Structures are given as structure tokens and as C-alpha cells.
Amino acid sequence: MISSSSDNVKKLSSINRRMFITGSLKFFIMIGLVSRLFFLQVKENKKYLTLSDKNRIREWKLAPVRGEFHDYFGNVVAGNFEAFQLHVIPEQVEDFRYVIYRLKDLLELSDKEFKKVLKKKNEIKPWETLIVSDNLSWNKFSKVNNHLYDLNGVKPVISISRNYPFGDNFTHVLGYVSQANERDIESNEIIKKNFVPGLKIGKVGLEKSFEEELIGKNDIERYEVNAYGRRISQLEFQKGEKGKTLKLTIDTEVQKLANELLKDQAGSICVMDIFTGEIIAMHSSPSFDPNLFVFGISQDDWQIIRNDPLKPLVNKTLQGNYSPGSTIKPIVALSALENGIINTNFTVECTGKKEMYGQTYHCWKKKGHGFVSLRNAMKQSCDTYFYEIARKLGVDKLSETAKKFGLGEKVFGDLFDIEKKGLIPNTVWKKNALGKGWLLGETMITGIGQGYIQTTPIQLCLMTAQIANGGYKIYPKIIANEENKKDQPDDKYVPLYQNSKNISIIQDAMFGSTNEVMGTSYRSRIDNIKYQFAGKTGTAQVKKITERDRELDLKTFEIPYEERDHALYIAFGPYKNPRYALSVLVEHGGNGSTTAAPMAKKLFKLIIDRHTLRQSVNNNTYLEI
């Protein structure tokens, strides 16, 4: 009993000692846990709070609303329309197979389209939106709406999309928009910033050039999401901004006429205000409907456009390098006058051809023009006269004048990335580019706008405008409300002549060419002084005319299409008080005077009729300011 009790005491002291040890241990571990909590929750709180927000908050960007294009009168030429779309969120659909087959019937989807939809469905998460149809007709859209009771989980959505109400009229000015691809995103910061799946961006033309202004700002939705990325609640909605609306200087009516005139032909028409440089119309034919590209062009449509022999994808106005033909003659004559090579009394005898340096240089008129002075030579477009003065002038002086008037230089600067510079040759150029010396014979054919010389239709238009306005430098512009500093260079309205009389001489000669008997475009004249215009025809050879061709002397329609001459015409009007200049080019149109000049007549009629209206718009804007 005693031993047992002493054992008990020993046992008790042992257990109590050990209890004390464990108790202290527990105390320290508790302190450890509390300090760990303190470290995480108090000291590192900010770091973990950020991490927690990063976990739970996700941003969704909505497609920004693209800015519009208006014409000079405020008509929408590239706008936004409400596209009827069908969205399905797969996880919200009870019986996806049933719904999708039902939709297939209702929308009359082809098997190919249907497969595409199914493929898209497999690529997305079940709570993401599946766009079954991106642009439904109203009929089908309302049909689906009528069957909604049967289509659980299908959402009819009206979304904003690009629309070109004037179809193919503005394609070569505006370009078109289409889905942004990876390259677009990589190459443009602003697209990258605003990118959302399905974003449409400008692919060519002004749509591309002004992407930054047009694209607008995304609406941003901030959502709280769970660990699986599902949206739980909306935390914030940040309204975006619609892109800037750009006003073109173009008059839709003139543009439409240009399109009509060139219907079924390849060519270009430009019309320009000779003082402000505003482009009134700029059309390249054939064109195509840009609306086809908005939701991705179908393979069939694409093949039709691509394989068209008239090359609708080429912007002939800006990209087309053509021999100017006789339309260069005003510049050649001006250059000769300016450099004092000739005066108005200088005459040349034209016998139809001229032998020189072992070559025969033909005038277009086999019988020859006899003795011609400058005015007559311009009027009748005598080649022999221009061979002679070009020879006397020399190509270097000629190229100097041509460049002054805007040839060989991009008219719009960097605005259109497709624009070509053309080519104004001189001796230095040939030495550098071809490594050969300049031949005098080459100067002669340059004098009639053949050989190396190449111009774009827009350059010819600018050249004509600068002759028409009395010889002052202007900068063409196509966006009316784009007040860029670059648009206001110092040398605007700087005289391009040495002697203003020379300009008048050329203007007068061009008047003769259109309004006097024997003038090459006499048949296209308008006698009414209000509309009266002055011009110069041009017929550019696309291949060297052989002796055999000359003997055959075929009519235009007898020659194969690709070998026919390009028809050109430049003009300004009204003659008494010039305001507008234009250039017309019809590819393989045969003859400038028969094909191109009549178009100018119709254009001037409309342009001058609309002049007052245009002025009134101008006055209004001044009043607003």
C-alpha cells in the first residue's frame, strides 16, 4: 500500500512535469501560429489582396463602334447597321442537338455552314457565346423569333456592324473592313489594344489609313469570375467611345456618275477642286461591293472578283502607272515656254513623220498638220511639233517642270499605302536605274508622253488643277474635317511658274483644243459659258506601233482588247472662271477624244450644276464656326 502510494506520487510528479513541458511547447506553437497569421494577414496583406483581386476580377471588352464616313453633304457612305445575329450559350441549352438541328432547318443552313457552327461549338467553353449566325436577314431573324418558344437558350441579338450603303461606288476610296487577323493585330498597337474576337478593321483604303481615328474605344465590362472563369456578377461598366466620323470631300452624286460612266470598262475618273485641292470624285473601275467582305467573303465571290480580267482589285486611280500620252503636252509646252525655248510664234512643219537619228517619228495624222504654232499644235495634238520642242528643251528641263506640277510624286503622301509614284525620267535617272546614257530619241517620245514616262490618273488630275488655278501649288485632300498640320504645308499656293503669262497661254491652247473647230475634243464641247471647259485628249499606246500596224490602220474594235490604246482626257472648267479639274482614263478605250472626252462633258455638266450646293455647305460650316 505504501509502495503503491509512493509509486502514485512518483507517477503524478512525472505526469505533471511532462504536462508542464507539453504545455509550454503548446504555448510556443500557438505563438508561432499567431505570428504566421500576423505575417500573412497584416504584413503581407496588400500582396495577397492584389492576388485575390487578380483571381476574381476579369475584364471583357466589347467591340468598339466604328466611326462613320460621310460625304461632303453629310450622307453616310460608310456607316453602321444593326446586324441580326443568333447567339447560343451551349450550357444554357437543355438539348443542344435538338436546338441546333431546329436552327439548321429554320435558317436553311447548308451542310457546310452547319459543320462550321458545330466546329466552332467544340472550340469554345460551354459558357461562352456561340455565334450561330452573324448576319441574318430580317425574314429569317423574325422567323427565329417566332419560334423562340421552341428554342430554349437561343438569343436573338442585334449587333452593330459596318455597312456601305453605296455599294461599289466608294470601294477604291474607302476600302473595306473585315475581321482582324494576327498580322493586323501584331502590326498595329491600337488594334492590339482594342482587339476583341470578331473585331472588324480596315483592310485597304481610308478605312485602313484612318484606323486609329475610326476604331473607337471598347466598352469594358468588369466581371467577378469564379475559379472556373464563369461570370458571377458585373462590377463595372466603362462606356467606350464611338470612333471619329470622317467627312469626305467627295460628292456622292459625282462619284456615282463616275461609276456609271466607267461601267463595264476598266479605268479611272478623278475630279478635283483646283483651289482647295478637295477631291470631288475619285473612282476606279471596275469596282466591287465592299459589303461582301464585312462578314468574310465567300470563296465564290472572291474568285469572281479575283479572276475578273478588268482587275477590280487594282485601284487604277492611285496604283495605275500609265503613259500619259498627249495629256503631257501642256506640261511640255509650258516647260518650253518657261525655259524660253519657244514663244507663241514658234512654228514647226509637220509632214506626218520626221526622220531623225535613223529613226522615224510619226505624227498621229499621217498627212501631217503643215505649219503649226504652239496653239495649233496643242489644239490638234500635233506630235511632230512636240518632238521638236522636246528635242530642243531636253528631258532634264522637262522633268523639272513635270515634277513641279506634281508628276512623279505621290499625290496623297502616305495616306494610301498603295499609291504609286509614277515615273518622270531624266538623264540621271536612266544612268542610275538602267546604267545607260539617255538617247535624244527618248526625249522626243517623252515629249508626247510615251516611253519611260508614267503617271497615275490622280497625278494628271492634280497637274491639270494646278494649270487651271493659274499655276499655284495645291495639296489634294479627301478628308474635309481632318485638320492636320501636314495638310497645311508652307508652300501651299506657291506659284509654280516663272511667268504667269505662260500659264494663260497653255490654258488658252487647251480651250482651243476643246472649243474650236479642228480641236481634238471639239465634239465633246459645251457651248454654254456656264459649263464651258478646256481640256486635252490623250491616247497612250500600250505597245509599239509597227509599220505593219500603220499600214493596216485598224479601227479600235478590230484590235484585240489588251493591245488597244488607253484613252485619256484631262480638263478644267468652267473656262471663264475655273473651279474644277478632272482626269479620265479608260484602259484600252481606244481614243481619248472619242472615249474619254465625252465622259468629261457629262461630268462637267453635273459638277457645275452642283457647285452652288457645294458652296452652300461650305458657307454653313463657316457660319458654325
Partner 1 sequence: MYQHTRLTTNNSGFFQKFLNFDYILLACILLLGFISLATMYSTDGGKVLFHTKSHFTKLVIFTFMMLIFSFINIKFWFSIGYLSYLLVVGLLIWTFLFGITSSGSQRWIDLYFINLQPSELMKIFIILCLAKYFHRMKLENVNSLYTILTSLIIILLPMGLVIVQPDLGTSLLIAISGIAVLWFAGINNRYFIYTMLGFIISLPFIIAFLKPYQKLRVLTFLNPDRDPLGAGYQIIQSKIAVGSGGIFGKGFLKGTQSYLEFLPEKHTDFIFTLFSEEFGFVGSVFLLLIYAVIIYRIIAIGASSRSYFAKIFCYSFGGAIFVYIAINMSMVLGLLPIVGSPLPIMSYGGSSMLATMIGFGIVMSAKVHSQQSIA
- Chain residues binding partner 1 by CB under 8 A are 7-8, 10-12, 14-16, 18-19, 22-23, 26, 29-30, 33-34, 36-38, 40-42, 44-45, 47-49, 51-52, 55-56, 224-228, 232
Q: Which is nearer to partner 1, 36 or 501 (CB)?
A: 36
The three three-digit cell numbers of residue 38, written as one number: 500576423
Helix/strand/coil for 191: helix
CB of 174 to partner 1, least distance (A): 46
User: What is the Cα–Cα distance from 321 to 47, expressed in whole angstroms?
Assistant: 63
The closest alpha carbon to 136, from 144, 147, 146, 128, belongs to 144
CB of 91 to partner 1, least distance (A): 16
Q: In what order do the strands lie in the sheet with 231-238?
A: 57-61, 220-225, 231-238
User: What is the Cα–Cα distance from 474 to 278, expressed in whole angstroms?
Assistant: 10
CB of 50 to partner 1, least distance (A): 8
Q: Which is nearer to partner 1, 25 or 545 (CB)?
A: 25
The contacts found for 144-153 with CB under 8 angstroms, 24 or more apart, are 144/86, 144/103, 144/106, 144/107, 147/102, 147/106, 150/102, 151/99, 151/102, 151/103, 152/92, 152/93, 152/94, 152/95, 152/99, 153/88, 153/89, 153/90, 153/92, 153/93, 153/94, 153/99
CB of 19 to partner 1, least distance (A): 6
User: What is the Cα–Cα distance from 236 to 220, expressed in whole angstroms?
Assistant: 8
CB of 1 to partner 1, least distance (A): 13
Q: Which is nearer to partner 1, 49 or 554 (CB)?
A: 49
Q: State the burial class of residue 89 (Cβ atoms within 10 Å of its Cβ: 0-12, 13-18, 19+).
A: middle
Cβ contacts of 187 within 8 Å, gap of 6 or more: none
CB of 136 to partner 1, least distance (A): 36
CB of 233 to partner 1, least distance (A): 10
Please give the DSSP secondary-structure letter assigned to residue 559: S
CB of 10 to partner 1, least distance (A): 5
Q: Which is nearer to partner 1, 34 or 428 (CB)?
A: 34
Q: Which is nearer to partner 1, 48 or 493 (CB)?
A: 48
User: What is the Cα–Cα distance from 580 to 357, expressed in whole angstroms?
Assistant: 42
Q: Which is nearer to partner 1, 225 or 304 (CB)?
A: 225
- Residues facing 573 on adjacent strands: 580
Contact 580, 607 (CB under 8 A): yes
User: What is the Cα–Cα distance from 28 to 34, expressed in whole angstroms?
Assistant: 10
Q: How far is CA 61 from the centre of its chain?
A: 28
CB of 26 to partner 1, least distance (A): 5
User: What is the Cα–Cα distance from 371 to 362, expressed in whole angstroms?
Assistant: 16
The closest alpha carbon to 69, from 184, 204, 206, belongs to 206
Contact 251, 480 (CB under 8 A): no
User: What is the Cα–Cα distance from 290 to 167, expressed in whole angstroms?
Assistant: 6
Contact 564, 591 (CB under 8 A): no
CB of 21 to partner 1, least distance (A): 9
How many residues are there in the chain? 625
The three three-digit cell numbers of residue 343, written as one number: 514663244
With residue 538 as reference, give the H or E element that holds it.
Answer: strand 534-540
Contact 423, 452 (CB under 8 A): yes
Q: Which is nearer to partner 1, 44 or 563 (CB)?
A: 44
Measured at the CA of 371, the angle between CA 340 and CA 460, to 5 degrees, comes to 55
CB of 24 to partner 1, least distance (A): 12
CB of 227 to partner 1, least distance (A): 4
How many CB atoms within 10 Å of residue 622? 7
Contact 70, 247 (CB under 8 A): yes
CB of 51 to partner 1, least distance (A): 5
